[in-house]
Amino acid sequence: MPARRKKPRAGALSPAHSIDPNAAGIDIGATEIYIAVPVDRDPHPVRKFATFTEDLMSAADWLKQCGIKTVAMESTGVYWIPLFQILEARGMKVCLVNARHVKNVPGRKSDLCDCQWLQHLHSAGLLRASFRPSSQVCAVRSLVRYRDSLVQLSAMHLQHMQKALDQMNLQLHHVISDLSGKTGIAIVEAILAGERDPHQLATLRDPRTKASQETIAKSLVGDYRREHLFTLRQSLTGFRQNSQLIADCDVEIESLLKEFSSGDGPGAEAVPEPQAELKRKPRRNEMSFDLRTQLHRIFAVDLTEIPGINTLTTSAKVYRYSGLDLAHIRALPAVKVSSPGDNVETSVVKDQLFPAMSITMYAIPGN
């Protein structure tokens, strides 16, 4: 049975010693939100609103009527995003806080609802806002995160293909380096088309494959069973569909990146030649367009010139978490600000981003 919300007690908090008297607190939920304003702004300082767009607009109007200039809310899942964007468009300063940081603030709130406690802490200046980049950067970040999920789904389909081969004792994925490569896909397609002769299947080997034709033929002797062939076919179909979705994402991401204005800096005019180790064919999960050139144009600096930094992992993460201003990199390792909306814990964000920042920050002028 879901836990009941605590009944708000209007007037339970004193406005004395407020650093910002025009602050409000919002408790975000999936189907309803609670908003608390200072007790001297409305006879009913705590109100409940539904999460439909019309109700969120009414909530923003009420905050304006109460003279609220800044609001605090916790980054609960993704439910905060619609209200955040509405309030930001109304000119309010939105303080998006990490729930873990709120718990670390000393004090008892047993007789208060969450929105009143947030309003009290925010008016006293005890809350720290998480960094959120511009809406233009957030649009790219949303697509990149969606693309990451598609890559993970493709890996799952590939694992299902490998499991189906194992259950038929077909050792193809053990003798070639990549089942999703040219040789692997060609042989799997031939198997699904009805070919069972291992020597005939082995002739589909790409000349660049290290394994010999005889070794591949031995790996294709097995027990071809109907149920596992069905699983293999389904997994291959899912893998191809996700590959096409990833390609479509790359086109849309490139289109959004081209809308960014070029950065100002001494290296903004020409893109330097990549290092020798970077002159290679793109890996399977890398974006299909020249991401390095786009990031260099936006940042006006080539982060991949730093040893240990590559385009897809580090440079893209710095862009997604710091926005267009690389000055944020100097401060983030010290204050450990997490990025809301990641659906990951702060420690995971820190483990992914801070090692990149600790190297990158030394390449920024002024460090």
Is the domain of 177 the same as that of 95? no
| DSSP state, residue 51 | S
Q: Structure pTM?
A: 0.74
Q: Which residues contact 193 (CB under 8 A, 6 or more apart)?
A: none
- Could you write out the DSSP letters of every residue in 116-177? HHHHHHHHTT---PPP---HHHHHHHHHHHHHHHHHHHHHHHHHHHHHHHHHTT--HHHHSS
Q: Give the residue-averaged pLDDT of 114-139.
A: 85
Structural domain includes residue 309: yes
Range in 107-116, 236-245, 293-302 the model is least confident about: 107-116
Structural domain includes residue 271: no
Is the domain of 143 the same as that of 230? yes
Q: What SS3 state is found at 28?
A: coil
Give per-residue pLDDT as tens, 75-94: 878 899 999 999 999 999 99
Structural domain includes residue 85: yes
As a whole-number percent, the residues of the chain with pLDDT over 90 amount to 43
**Residue environment code for 275-306, b if the CB has 16+ CB neighbours within 10 A, otherwise e:** eeeeeeeeeeeebebebbebbbbbbbbbbbeb
Residue 141 pLDDT grade (very low, low, confident, very high; cuts 50, 70, 90): confident
Give the CA diameter of the chain.
Answer: 85
* CATH number of the domain encompassing residue 29: 3.30.420.10
Structural domain includes residue 270: no
Look at residue 186 and tell me whether its pLDDT is greater than 70.
yes
Is the domain of 221 the same as that of 283? no
Is the domain of 323 the same as that of 230? no
Please give the single-letter amino acid code of residue 136: Q
Q: Provide the pLDDT for residue 60.
A: 95
Structural domain includes residue 203: yes
- Given 99, 130, 161, the domain boundary residue is 130
- Could you write out the DSSP letters of every residue in 221-256? -S---HHHHHHHHHHHHHHHHHHHHHHHHHHHHHHH
- Given 228, 258, 288, the domain boundary residue is 258
Is the domain of 38 the same as that of 60? yes
Q: What angle do CA 168, 171, 174 make, to 5 degrees?
A: 145
Q: Which two tokens stand for residue 29?
A: 């939920």
Residue 172 to residue 188: CA distance in whole angstroms: 9
* Nearest alpha carbon to residue 49 among 67, 61, 64, 65: 61
Look at residue 255 and tell me whether its pLDDT is greater than 60.
yes
Q: Provide the pLDDT for residue 339.
A: 46
Is the domain of 162 the same as that of 207? yes
Q: Provide the pLDDT for residue 74.
A: 87
What domain range is 341 assigned to?
276-363
Q: Provide the pLDDT for residue 10.
A: 45
- Given 113, 130, 147, the domain boundary residue is 130
Residue 116 to residue 114: CA distance in whole angstroms: 5
Is the domain of 63 the same as that of 148? no
pLDDT higher for 357 or 27? 27
pLDDT higher for 320 or 97? 97
Is the domain of 53 the same as that of 112? yes
Residue 298 pLDDT grade (very low, low, confident, very high; cuts 50, 70, 90): confident
Average per-residue pLDDT for the chain: 78
Q: Provide the pLDDT for residue 56.
A: 95
Q: Give the residue-averaged pLDDT of 105-128.
A: 76
Look at residue 252 and tell me whether its pLDDT is greater than 90.
yes
Look at residue 317 and tell me whether its pLDDT is greater than 80.
no
Structural domain includes residue 14: no
Q: Give the residue-averaged pLDDT of 113-138.
A: 84
Count of Cβ atoms closer than 10 Å to residue 107 Cβ: 10
Is the domain of 141 the same as that of 249? yes
pLDDT higher for 197 or 354? 197
Structural domain includes residue 350: yes
Is the domain of 166 the same as that of 120? no
Count of Cβ atoms closer than 10 Å to residue 165 Cβ: 25
Q: Which two tokens stand for residue 183?
A: 């040789």
Q: Give the residue-averaged pLDDT of 84-105.
A: 85
Contact present, 317 and 353 (Cβ < 8 Å): yes
Contact present, 42 and 66 (Cβ < 8 Å): yes
Is the domain of 126 the same as that of 176? no
Is the domain of 100 the same as that of 159? no
Q: Give the residue-averaged pLDDT of 203-213.
A: 90
Look at residue 2 and tell me whether its pLDDT is greater than 70.
no
Q: Which two tokens stand for residue 202?
A: 């082995």
As a whole-number percent, the residues of the chain with pLDDT over 70 amount to 69
Q: Provide the pLDDT for residue 332.
A: 45
pLDDT higher for 171 or 352? 171
Q: Provide the pLDDT for residue 359.
A: 46
Q: Provide the pLDDT for residue 274.
A: 56
Structural domain includes residue 244: yes
Angle between helices 328-335 and 346-360 (to 10 degrees): 130
Q: How many domains does the chain have?
A: 3
Q: Give the residue-averaged pLDDT of 204-224.
A: 91
Q: Provide the pLDDT for residue 12.
A: 45
Q: What SS3 state is found at 77?
A: coil
